[in-house]
Amino acid sequence: MSANYWESTQRRHWQFTKEQLESTRQKLEEENAELVRMFPLPQIRHLYIYFNQQIIKLSKKISVRQQCIATAQVYLKRFYTKVEIRRTNPYLVVTTAVYLACKMEEAPQHIRMIVTEARALWSEFISLDTSKVGECEFFLISEMSSQLLIHQPYRTLTSLRSELSMTDEDATLAKSVINDSYMTDLPLTTSPHIIGLVAILLALVLRPSPGIPGQTNGAAVGLAAAQAALSQAQARVNLAAGSAGSIPSSSEIPKDKPQDTRISRLQQFASWLSDSRVDITAMVDATQEIISFYECHEHYQDKLTKEQINRFVKARGLDK
C-alpha cells in the first residue's frame, strides 16, 4: 500500500471536484436516459443512506470491523461513477463490495459464508450461487482499474487525538462523524485528512457540555462557533502570508458562559490549524457538506427508497 496519500491512486485517479462528479453522473444518466425515465430513484444521498444500512446489516452478520465497512462504501461509490445503478443488482454489488473490502483490509471472509448471510437478508435478490459474487467481484475490480487501496480519515483522528487533548467522548463522536461522511460525496471529493479534521471540529462543537440543562440551541451555536474557528484559522494563515485582513477576535465566536470550555478548545484547535498547512477552504466546504447531509437525512424515507430500488431490480430481471 502506498504510505503516501499524495502519491496514491486514490488521489491521482479517484479524487473529483464537485463539478467533475456531477458531470460524470449526468453523463451516465444521459447514456441511460430510457432507464432513468422508466425507473425514477431518490436523490443520491438517500440512495447511499440506504446502501450504508445494507452494508452495515451484512457486516454485522459476519462480524467485520469498521475499516472494512468504510472501504466497501468507497468501492460502491467508485463503481457507480462508472456504471449506471439501474443496470445492476445493488444487493449483489453490496455483497461483493463487502467481500472484496474484507480481502483488501486483510480480514478475508469465506465467499460461501458471505453469500449465505446475504441471502438470509435479501432472499429475493441473492441466490446461493457463489459464482455470481465471483463474477461481480471481477466487474468491480475491472471498473475500478484494480485501484483498490483506500486511505481512510480514521488515521488522522488516531494520530491527533492526544495532541489535541481529545476526550473519549470527543473521539467517539468524531469517529461517528467520519462514519457518516461515507454517506456523502466526501470520499470522492475530499482528502481523507481533511475529513478527519472536520470530524474533530464537529465533535468539539456538537457534543453537549455535561451537566448543562436546556441546550436546545447547542448545535446552532456550535456550528456558528465552527465557522468562526475556521475563519480565525484562515485569517492567521493570511496574516502569516502577508495578506490583508484582521484576525477575528474570540468574541466573534458565539458563546455563553456554560460553554466557555468548549469555546476555549475551539480556539486552541483554530490556532493549531493556522500553524499547520491544512487547506482551510477545503475544511469549510467539507463541513458544509456534512451539515447539509444531516439536514437531508431528516427527509430520508426508507420505505420509498427500498421500493424504488426493488422495483427496477425485479422489473429488469436483475435478481436472477
The 3-class secondary structure across 105-123, one letter per residue, is: CCCCCCHHHHHHHHHHHCC
pLDDT tens sequence across 22-60? 999 999 999 999 999 999 999 999 999 999 999 999 999
Identity of the amino acid at 57: K
- Position 224 scores a pLDDT of 64
Cα torsion for 172, 174, 179, 183, to the nearest 10°? 150
- Position 212 scores a pLDDT of 38
Q: Is the dihedral of CA 211, 215, 219, 225 positive or negative?
A: negative
pLDDT tens sequence across 169-179? 999 999 999 99
43-82: b or e for each residue (b if 16 or more CB lie within 10 Å)?
Answer: ebbbbbbbbbbbbbebbebbebebbbbbbbbbbbbbbbbe
Average pLDDT over residues 288-296: 91
pLDDT band of 189, cuts 50, 70, 90: very high
| Ramachandran assignment for 69, one of left (phi > 0), alpha (psi -120 to 50 degrees), beta (any other) | alpha
What's the whole-model pTM score? 0.87
Calpha distance 260→248 (Å, rounded): 17
**What's the whole-number average pLDDT of the chain?**
86
Identity of the amino acid at 167: T
SS3 at position 135: helix
- Position 162 scores a pLDDT of 87
pLDDT at 18 over 70: yes
The residues spanned by each domain of the chain are 5-150+301-315, 154-297
Cα 125 to Cα 88, 93, 132: the distances in Å are: 11, 11, 11
Of the listed ranges 11-25, 68-82, 224-238, the least confidently predicted one is: 224-238
pLDDT at 262 over 70: no
Find all residues with CB under 8 Å of 292, minimum gap 6, and list them: none
How many Å separate Cα 187 from the centre of its chain? Answer: 5
Share of the chain above pLDDT 90, in %: 68
Cα 99 to Cα 107, 119, 161, 183, 303: the distances in Å are: 10, 14, 31, 19, 26
pLDDT tens sequence across 114-147? 999 999 999 999 999 999 999 999 999 999 999 9
pLDDT at 245 over 60: no
- Position 213 scores a pLDDT of 37
pLDDT band of 277, cuts 50, 70, 90: confident
pLDDT at 269 over 90: no
Identity of the amino acid at 198: V
- Position 218 scores a pLDDT of 45
Q: How far apart are the first and last CA of the chain?
A: 37
The CATH number assigned to the domain with range 5-150+301-315 reads 1.10.472.10
270 neighbors 229 (Cβ within 8 angstroms): yes
CB atoms near residue 302 (< 10 Å): 11
Segments in 182-279 forming alpha helices (H): 186-189, 192-206, 218-240, 260-275
Calpha distance 27→47 (Å, rounded): 18
User: How many H-runs (helices) and E-runs (strands) does the chain carry?
Assistant: 16, 0
Angle at 159 between CA 156 and CA 163, to 5 degrees: 115
CB atoms near residue 291 (< 10 Å): 16
Which of the listed ranges 147-151, 221-225, 266-270 does the model predict with the highest average pLDDT?
147-151
Of the listed ranges 70-79, 279-288, 297-306, the least confidently predicted one is: 279-288
